[in-house]
Copies of this chain bind each other. A is one copy, B any other.
Amino acid sequence: MGMPLELNTMIVTKGREERIENNFFKLVKDEYRLYPMHIPLEVKNSIAGEVRGVAEIYKLEWSGQKTIIYFEIKSLESTN
């Protein structure tokens, strides 16, 4: 009767992030996931992909077997 969780240490967007405004984004993920709040995390498009930037999560919601994270991009990788 435990609760399944996934401990996550980076933000993998799979291109599904929604821009709220400026550097603020929202991302819906399946299942309940535990992310550290207010800590710099790498942002990637896919697990095996390149690091696109660093973000901090400022809000997290769990309901209906979904996790919604709200994060602010703090820096972007230059990709030239």
- Are A39 and B5 within 8 A (Cβ)? no
How many subunits of this chain does the assembly comprise?
A: 4
- Are A47 and B5 within 8 A (Cβ)? no
Interface size on A, residues (CB 8 A): 28
8 A-B pairs besides A4-B7, A9-B39 with CB distance below 8 A are A1-B8, A1-B10, A2-B7, A3-B37, A4-B6, A5-B6, A7-B36, A60-B61
Name 23 A/B residue pairs within 8 A (Cβ), A-sorted: A1-B10, A1-B12, A2-B6, A2-B33, A2-B36, A2-B39, A3-B7, A3-B39, A4-B5, A4-B7, A5-B5, A7-B36, A9-B39, A9-B41, A34-B34, A58-B63, A58-B64, A59-B61, A60-B61, A60-B62, A60-B63, A61-B62, A63-B70
